[in-house]
């Protein structure tokens, strides 16, 4: 047989012949039941988990989002006969309307501080002589640089600092700005799903200026209202407002956009959830090593050409607006991929049943002979030579 004929025969076999494996039909109830049960399990997995629960026939996308916030409300305090009205410019930090901000609910104020020398607070750096106060050194929890002098009257080291020293051992209780419970928060959120070319706002259909002017969020009655009372937010997160307001804390406001674009886009609406990001509502204050949320800021001014400042230690509730998004839409590619993987998993039934047939059943040798065809190489060579 010439090389040309061999090549022609090989190409003819490749293009014009079809090979299929030989199958053996086994009439065995136990093996048949095992096979069908496995196939049923695979079918339930494909339909129930892949297609219904995981929605494997859809492609997914997450949103690019922006958040704007605006606070409204007025607070009033009367400390030592000094009446003060607090508005948004006084109790919101920062004031730009970011997605993360702090609302002041309590404070300790130290007025008229100026740079000078004064004794440390009791317990900060106690001393009995000047030797206990190393001049020019600092203590991590101290308020200034030690001068090397021990003040006999207070039995504490003298420091160069802003005097008088802030005394924050006693936190006002009840909170000075407990009225913050009635402040309102307006959230404006827009999301864009680039893969599907869809843009949505939490000011959905039916929400206009008149509605916003009179609505207040309620999880059941007004679930789409973008105006929230701070007291309601804290309550829905599982905390007591008064307890949280005294020493501060953190609350997460989650705007959840879970959308199915196989239906009309107008059905894509946000859901609001609230979570305490600091501590556990069931814990007592003594259960935590560091309680609350606070920071300091100072208002500087000049008095008789002497620079002075008013120092505030602010206790507040930090609000973080977190956008969570997931959009789905039918796509033929993930659908075919899910179907293909499901068909492949059906092969598990064949593998398991073959193992049972060939290694576990009493007639396994019989089944092996039926399934496999054995050839003797030496016999085959002899037959060919005889030809």
**Tens-digit pLDDT profile for residues 269-303:** 999 999 988 755 555 544 455 678 999 999 999 99
CATH 1.10.287.940 residue ranges of the chain are: 24-57+332-371
260 pLDDT higher than 90: yes
Model-level pTM?
Answer: 0.78
What is d(CA 313, CA 248) in angstroms, rounded to the nearest whole number? Answer: 11
What is d(CA 142, CA 118) in angstroms, rounded to the nearest whole number? Answer: 12
Of 256, 253, 259, residue with least CA distance to 193? 259
Which one has a higher pLDDT value, 309 or 23? Answer: 309
CATH 2.60.490.10 residue ranges of the chain are: 62-120+165-330
What is d(CA 325, CA 72) in angstroms, rounded to the nearest whole number? Answer: 28
Identify the pLDDT of residue 39.
84
Identify the pLDDT of residue 289.
58
Residue 260 buriedness (CB in 10 A; 0-12 / 13-18 / 19+): middle
Identify the pLDDT of residue 287.
47
Instruction: Provide the mean pLDDT of the chain.
Output: 86
What is d(CA 297, CA 94) in angstroms, rounded to the nearest whole number? Answer: 12
CATH topology of domain 62-120+165-330: atp-gated p2x4 ion channel fold (2.60.490)
> Which residues fall in the annotated binding site for ATP?
70-72, 184, 294-296, 313
Tell me if the domain spanning 24-57+332-371 has CATH number 2.60.40.1730.
no
List the structure tokens of 73. 């409300």
> Which residues fall in the annotated binding site?
70-72, 184, 294-296, 313
- Across 49-53, 121-125, 257-261, 350-354, least confident range: 350-354
63, 142, 191, 220, 329 from 197: Cα distances, Å:
10, 56, 11, 31, 12
- pLDDT tier for residue 16 given thresholds of 50, 70 and 90: confident
Identify the pLDDT of residue 14.
73
- pLDDT tier for residue 375 given thresholds of 50, 70 and 90: low
- Interstrand relation of 75-79 and 249-260 (parallel, antiparallel or unpaired): unpaired
What is d(CA 329, CA 313) in angstroms, rounded to the nearest whole number? Answer: 51
- pLDDT tier for residue 101 given thresholds of 50, 70 and 90: very high
100 pLDDT higher than 50: yes
DSSP state of 52: I
What is d(CA 296, CA 110) in angstroms, rounded to the nearest whole number? Answer: 11
């Amino acid at each position: 047989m010439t090389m040309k004929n061999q090549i022609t025969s090989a190409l003819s076999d490749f293009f014009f012949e079809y090979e299929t494996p030989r199958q053996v039909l086994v009439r065995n109830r136990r093996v048949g039941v095992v096979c069908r049960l496995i196939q049923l399990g695979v079918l339930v997995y494909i339909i129930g988990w892949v297609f219904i629960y995981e929605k494997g026939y859809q492609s997914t996308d997450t949103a690019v989002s922006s958040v704007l916030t605006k606070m409204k409300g007025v607070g009033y305090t009367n400390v030592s006969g000094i009446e003060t009205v607090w508005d948004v410019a006084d109790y919101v930090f920062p004031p730009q309307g970011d997605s993360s901000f702090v609302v002041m609910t309590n404070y300790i104020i130290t007025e008229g501080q100026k740079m000078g020398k004064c004794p440390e607070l009791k317990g900060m750096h106690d001393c009995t002589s000047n030797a206990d106060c190393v001049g020019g050194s600092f203590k991590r929890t101290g308020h200034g640089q030690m001068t090397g002098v021990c003040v006999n009257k207070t039995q504490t080291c003298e420091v160069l600092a802003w005097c008088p020293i802030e005394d924050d051992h006693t936190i006002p209780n009840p909170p000075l700005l407990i009225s913050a419970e009635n402040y309102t928060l307006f959230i404006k959120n827009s999301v864009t799903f680039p893969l599907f070319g869809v843009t949505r706002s939490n000011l959905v259909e039916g929400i206009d200026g008149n509605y916003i002017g009179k609505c207040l969020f309620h999880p059941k009655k007004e679930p789409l209202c973008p105006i929230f009372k701070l007291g309601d937010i804290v309550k829905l997160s599982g905390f007591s407002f008064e307890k949280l307001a005294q020493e501060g804390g953190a609350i997460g406001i989650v705007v959840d956009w879970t959308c199915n674009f196989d239906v009309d886009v107008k059905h894509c609406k946000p859901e609001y959830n609230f979570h305490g990001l600091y501590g556990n509502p069931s814990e007592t204050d003594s259960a935590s090593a560091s309680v609350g949320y606070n920071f300091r800021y100072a208002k500087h001014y000049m008095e008789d050409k002497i620079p002075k400042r008013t120092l505030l230690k602010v206790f507040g509730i930090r609000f973080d607006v977190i956008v969570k998004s997931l959009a789905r839409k039918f796509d033929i590619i993930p659908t075919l991929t899910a179907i293909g993987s499901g068909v492949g998993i059906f092969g598990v039934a064949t593998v398991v049943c073959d193992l049972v047939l060939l290694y576990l059943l009493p007639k396994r040798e019989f089944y092996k002979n039926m399934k496999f065809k054995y050839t003797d190489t030496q016999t085959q060579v002899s037959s060919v030579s005889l030809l």
